Amino acid sequence: MKLLVVSNPTFLDGEADMVNRMFAAGLNHFHLRKPGIASCELEAFLQKIQPEFQNRIVLHSHHSLLLGWGLRGIHLTAAHQEDLWSSRSLLKALGPRNPKVTMSASYHSLEQLDGPDPGYTYVFLSPIFDSISKQGYQAAFSQEPLKQALLKSSLNVIALGGCSEQNLRQIEKLGFSGAAFLGRIWQSADPVKSFELLQKNLTPTLN
């Protein structure tokens, strides 16, 4: 089961250093999501990431930066999904240079899981549990319908929203292929230690 970390929506003091330490501790998928941030600000952040880790980063905005930084891939918001042609054109242009580049998207309903496969590497489905980072953002799905929808779907689905070490086993039993963490990481006193704790609790689910 994959473990992904989504960045804090605003820049934090020492954030790049913490992300580097998470990469060194085993993080393979980091989603760089900074709504409203300028391209030059994202580049300044990327410059602080050690070169050997930059290919583990997925961009949520300013997707064209993918071409110059050798990043892992791009993530599509609802607006991006409406302009899917542009996103696919970018990946087609990059493909010969990096065939492993990923394209992911955010889903918020079980009906989307039952639709045609758009060719995403994986999709986020949220909120699965009551959100840690967004007050009042509560779980949107009943457990049994969710489990059945995941069983029928051909998509690679990642749980998002309220994920923590306490519900990792439940996430796996529901049929998700991974879990993404935001509030559990960035609202803790020590984000790096929180990630390491998640890694420790994730390991038994892989056996």
Provide DSSP, 127-166.
-SS--SSSTT----S-HHHHHHHHHH--S-EEEESS--GG
Q: Which tens digit of pLDDT belongs to each residue from 89-104?
A: 666 666 555 667 898 9
pLDDT over threshold 60, residue 136 = yes
Which domain does 131 fall in, by range?
2-206
pLDDT, mean of residues 63-88 = 78
Task: Please give the mean pLDDT across all residues of the chain.
Answer: 88
Domains: count for the chain: 1
- pLDDT at 61 (0 to 100): 92
- Contacts for 174-178 with beta carbons within 8 Å, 24 or more apart? 174/128, 174/143, 174/146, 174/147, 174/150, 175/147, 175/150, 175/151, 176/1, 176/125, 176/128, 176/150, 177/1, 177/2, 177/122, 178/1, 178/2, 178/3, 178/4, 178/122
pTM: 0.89
Mean pLDDT of 103-113: 93
Q: What is the CATH number of the domain that holds 193?
A: 3.20.20.70
pLDDT digits (tens, 9 = 90+) for 168-193: 999 999 999 999 999 999 999 999 99
pLDDT in tens, 152-170: 999 999 999 999 999 999 9
d(CA 205, CA 174) in angstroms, rounded, equals: 13
